[in-house]
Structure 1
Amino acid sequence: MIDIIMDSVIDSLKLIPFLFLTYLFMEALEHKTGSLARKRIRTAGKFGPVWGGLLGVIPQCGFSAAASSLYAGKVITVGTLLAVYMSTSDEMLPIMISNAVPVSVMLRILACKAGIAIFSGLMIEYVYVHVMKKREKDMDVHVLCEEEHCHCEHGIVKSAVVHTLKIFIYIFLISLALNIIIGLVGENTLAELFTGIPVMGEIIAALVGLIPNCASSVVITQLYLDQIIGAGAMMAGLLVNAGVGLLVLFRLNKNRKENLKIVGALYVLGVFWGVVIELLGIVF
């Protein structure tokens, strides 16, 4: 047990410099592009899902939360909202960078997420408007005034330090838990839990991805990097990983039935695309 704890501590400590530099870059990018991205989403019109999918891959603080607020205020459509949710990657990118994952691999994953998000958003939009004959409600300015913030306004260095420490703790605890589980049951046995039964890996990963917390994307990314889950399960989990965006949606949008339908659609789409990726044998 002492060896497991020490290995987890050492492995996690090695990531701190890379995490800090990554978050510092992300904070600087957010301060420069955040407001422009939100404005582009607001004015996208029928091309909302396209812009939502493209801008969602940019590592920005609280982008899914902002999209939820815009949806609750009826500024963007449900297709655009889902495109943003499916495109955002939460903590995937910083963890992959800190683990020295090749840039080409990260770009392929981001491109795949963006492509799936755009296509899914456009399809949802078409079904909502042309098949179900639904019509978006008028804008509610009052809701927009309650937009959630991720407290990134306190300076990029301080925000980067806070993000780094928080994710370091998550990584350490998750690495410790995984090392203990692997030590007890074996890596092959754990991997078989996700791969032994068809589709089960995607179903479980998507359930984990729905947890509105940074830890969920950390778990999924770490399992993928440790080769315990495959590309399909990883993508299923990350496609549904909207982070705090789901919490903001339930807080601001008073139509609980509508919120549950959105979460249900997000989950089904995540599992579906994860299974497709696995069946096609796609690797990144």
Structure 2
Amino acid sequence: MELILDVLLDALIDGAKMLPFLYLAYLLIEWLERNHGQRIENALAGGGRWGFVPGAVLGCVPQCGFSAVAANFYASRVITPGTLLAVFVATSDEAIPLLAAEPGMWGTLAVLLVLKVILGMAAGFVLDVPLRRVLPQSLYGGYAGHADEVDCHEEHEEHSGIFLAALRHTLEIFAFILLFSFLIGLVFELVGEGAITALLGRMGPFQPMVAALIGLVPNCAASVLLAQLYMQGAITFGSLMAGLTAGAGIGLAVLWRVNPGWKQNLFMTGLLWAAGAAVGIVLQFLPI
């Protein structure tokens, strides 16, 4: 019991330190969504066959709403599969505000965002330009020169004030942070930090593959877990990139719900995992 209380206290102290930064991050997110959300959606939908460029940039906005919007746009044939892939690859869900809440991680966060934009554009380009000519329509799908009926908007609770909405999001993610900090800390105390780090380290190229599988979980808990493991030193930057590249927040779940082409959905899911795993393996061998 004493061990559990000590781990819980450590988790509370670590979480409390990042609360002010976390709240400021969500305050900025709420302001962007409410004041520029429609413009961002219009830019995403208006990109046509080159939509992967704005898609990769907009996907970096740290909230999962745009990945859900992109999934609906794809199902309605408003955007290309390359644009959808660019948004999914660039999406980092809750990892960005979590890393932003730690001033010591700002340099890492900047590198991560730049790499995510570049990777998103590159993945979208490959899928939309060279592969478009060889992929069958049953796998390709998406933009066909016209749009079907689109229903992409979620409820954003705009009836509440921006400060209250930011506080609600902060407390929600803070609960995830406490949970994962407690569980990770408990495991580290029971098993030993050295033993866990050594186990993950021995995975070699398999560590990014496993991280990419975690990233596919359509829930912000996956990105929180990956960020926490990285900040604890349990996984490498390559594995963090692998998980966050494969992770699309709730966008992947929305895609499977709204798009009737299961082959297209399975193809996109496989591409996400492959892209994340490949990027993570490459980064394992780079001094980053």
Deviation at 1:60, TM superposition (A): 4.4
Deviation at 1:133, TM superposition (A): 5.6
Aligned with 1:246 (options 239, 242, 252): 252
The equivalent of 1:255 in structure 2 is 261
CA–CA separation in structure 2 for the residues paired with 1:119 and 1:262: 15
The equivalent of 1:192 in structure 2 is 198
Deviation at 1:132, TM superposition (A): 2.2
CA–CA separation in structure 2 for the residues paired with 1:182 and 1:150: 39
The equivalent of 2:214 in structure 1 is 208
Q: Does the residue aligned with 1:14 lie in a helix, a strand or coil?
A: helix
Deviation at 1:192, TM superposition (A): 2.4
The equivalent of 1:10 in structure 2 is 13
Q: Does the residue aligned with 1:211 lie in a helix, a strand or coil?
A: coil
CA–CA separation in structure 2 for the residues paired with 1:277 and 1:101: 21
User: Residue 60 and residue 180 in structure 1: after superposition, are their counterparts in 2 closer, same or farther (change >3 A)?
Assistant: closer
Greater mean alpha carbon deviation, residues 73-82 or residues 11-20: 11-20
AA of the residue aligned to 1:125? D
1:181 and 2:187 correspond: yes
AA of the residue aligned to 1:153? E
The equivalent of 1:118 in structure 2 is 121
1:21 and 2:24 correspond: yes
User: Residue 238 and residue 114 in structure 1: after superposition, are their counterparts in 2 closer, same or farther (change >3 A)?
Assistant: same
CA–CA separation in structure 2 for the residues paired with 1:214 and 1:239: 13
User: Residue 91 and residue 37 in structure 1: after superposition, are their counterparts in 2 closer, same or farther (change >3 A)?
Assistant: same
User: Residue 177 and residue 102 in structure 1: after superposition, are their counterparts in 2 closer, same or farther (change >3 A)?
Assistant: closer
AA of the residue aligned to 2:127? I
The equivalent of 1:149 in structure 2 is 154
Unaligned runs of 5+ in 2: none
Check whether the contact 1:26–1:60 (CA below 8 A) recurs between aligned residues.
yes
CA–CA separation in structure 1 for the residues paired with 2:97 and 2:228: 12
Deviation at 1:102, TM superposition (A): 4.6
The equivalent of 1:44 in structure 2 is 47
AA of the residue aligned to 2:158? E
1:83 and 2:86 correspond: yes
CA–CA separation in structure 1 for the residues paired with 2:105 and 2:230: 14
User: Residue 21 and residue 245 in structure 1: after superposition, are their counterparts in 2 closer, same or farther (change >3 A)?
Assistant: same
The equivalent of 1:97 in structure 2 is 100
Note the 1:29-68 alignment, pairs <5 A: 29-60=32-63, 62-68=65-71
CA–CA separation in structure 1 for the residues paired with 2:201 and 2:241: 14
The equivalent of 2:77 in structure 1 is 74
User: Residue 118 and residue 282 in structure 1: after superposition, are their counterparts in 2 closer, same or farther (change >3 A)?
Assistant: farther
CA–CA separation in structure 1 for the residues paired with 2:6 and 2:236: 28
Check whether the contact 2:62–2:97 (CA below 8 A) recurs between aligned residues.
no
CA–CA separation in structure 2 for the residues paired with 1:101 and 1:152: 33
Q: Does the residue aligned with 1:4 lie in a helix, a strand or coil?
A: helix
CA–CA separation in structure 2 for the residues paired with 1:99 and 1:150: 30
AA of the residue aligned to 2:250? V
Check whether the contact 1:62–1:150 (CA below 8 A) recurs between aligned residues.
no
Deviation at 1:126, TM superposition (A): 2.4
Check whether the contact 1:148–1:248 (CA below 8 A) recurs between aligned residues.
no
CA–CA separation in structure 2 for the residues paired with 1:148 and 1:263: 23
Superposition TM-score, scaled by structure 1 size: 0.93
AA of the residue aligned to 2:72? S
The equivalent of 1:277 in structure 2 is 283
Check whether the contact 1:34–1:60 (CA below 8 A) recurs between aligned residues.
no
Report the RMSD for the aligned CA atoms in angstroms: 1.7
